[in-house]
């Protein structure tokens, strides 16, 4: 049996729970038993899924949990009818071919910080993001432009979002057209039509935002930028989680 990084032979032989604790601690308390089991497998540690679950329960290791999702109302913008080119298929055979985006909000003592992200479907990486104290169209424009710089976009690249008024605005449509990106939107009020982007926002809130108090917008922006770049979840891409990349431009 391989010894995970940071675990001594003595700890491995005397305390089999040590590997569970190590994987859980390395995730900053965000891994449930399935993701801990996946990490142990990558370390070469043989342990059944139910054994990992039992050991975590014995150790009192409980992953942070999401808060209830609250739907928001969106409206059709002025760009006219936009098709759904994704149809809930968030897989892609090459980076840059299919991207999804969304806006979420971060509370601080100074007020809200709004975060727009663009996630590449092929790699699950946060390819672009932008933050500001408002969610006007330049926010999502900056995020998609960052993604265009970080990805080698093919001729048939797609950007998919919900039907928020900024995403369906004529201004944003012009930006996508200038980048050679085809626009796609889901149905109004159906979060599953943009599930990959929604999933990233949920993970961000659970793993970082709900566990942190931000005294200023500047502190929030710095912390969220670190989260977007950090390789914390890079080992679980097959489980559908985000895969940030520290090599991307800021």
The pLDDT tens digits of the residues spanning 209-222 come to: 888 889 999 999 99
Mean pLDDT of 124-130: 92
Long-range contacts made by residues 232-239, C-beta under 8 angstroms, separation at least 24?
232/27, 232/28, 232/30, 232/207, 233/27, 233/30, 233/203, 235/38, 235/39, 235/42, 236/35, 236/38, 236/39, 237/123, 237/124, 239/34, 239/35, 239/38
What's residue 14's pLDDT? 38
What's residue 80's pLDDT? 63
Q: What is the DSSP string of 202-243?
A: HHHHHHTGGG---SSHHHHHHHHHHHHH--TTGGGGGGT---
The answer to whether residue 240 scores a pLDDT higher than 80 is: no
What's residue 235's pLDDT? 36
Summary mean pLDDT of the chain: 78
What's residue 72's pLDDT? 47
- Do the Cβ atoms of 183 and 216 come closer than 8 Å? no
Q: Give per-residue pLDDT as tens, 50-92.
A: 888 888 787 777 776 555 545 443 444 454 688 999 888 888 9
- With vertex at residue 80, the alpha carbon angle to CA 77 and CA 82, rounded to the nearest 5 degrees, is 95
Mean pLDDT of 10-16: 43
pLDDT band at 190, cuts 50/70/90? low
State what percent of residues in the chain have pLDDT above 90. Answer: 34
Ramachandran area for residue 36 (φ above 0: left; ψ -120 to 50: alpha; else beta): alpha
Which tokens is 170 given?
Answer: 């004529």
Q: What's the sign of the alpha-carbon dihedral 113, 114, 116, 117?
A: positive
Q: Give per-residue pLDDT as tens, 163-181.
A: 888 899 999 999 999 999 9
pLDDT band at 97, cuts 50/70/90? very high
């Amino acid at each position: 049996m391989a010894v995970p990084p940071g675990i001594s032979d003595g700890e491995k032989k005397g305390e089999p729970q040590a590997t569970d604790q190590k994987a859980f601690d390395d995730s900053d308390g965000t891994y449930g038993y399935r993701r801990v089991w996946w990490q142990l497998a990558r370390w070469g540690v043989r342990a059944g899924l139910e054994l990992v679950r039992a050991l975590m329960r014995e150790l009192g290791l409980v992953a942070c949990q999401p808060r209830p999702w609250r739907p928001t109302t969106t409206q059709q913008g002025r760009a006219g009818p936009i098709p759904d080119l994704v149809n809930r298929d968030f897989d892609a055979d090459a980076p840059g071919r299919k991207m999804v985006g969304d806006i979420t909000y971060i509370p601080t003592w100074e007020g809200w910080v709004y975060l727009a992200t663009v996630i590449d479907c092929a790699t699950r990486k946060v390819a672009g993001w932008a933050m500001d104290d408002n969610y006007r169209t330049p926010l999502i424009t900056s995020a998609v432009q960052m993604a265009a710089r970080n990805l080698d976009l093919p001729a048939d690249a797609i950007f998919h979002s919900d039907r928020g008024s900024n995403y369906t605005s004529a201004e944003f449509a012009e930006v996508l057209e200038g980048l050679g990106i085809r626009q796609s939107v889901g149905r109004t009020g159906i979060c599953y039509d943009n599930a990959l982007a929604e999933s990233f926002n949920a993970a961000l809130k659970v793993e970082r935002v709900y566990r942190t108090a931000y005294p200023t917008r500047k502190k929030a922006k710095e912390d969220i930028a670190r989260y977007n770049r950090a390789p914390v979840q890079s080992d679980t891409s097959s489980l559908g989680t985000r895969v940030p990349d520290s090599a991307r431009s800021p």
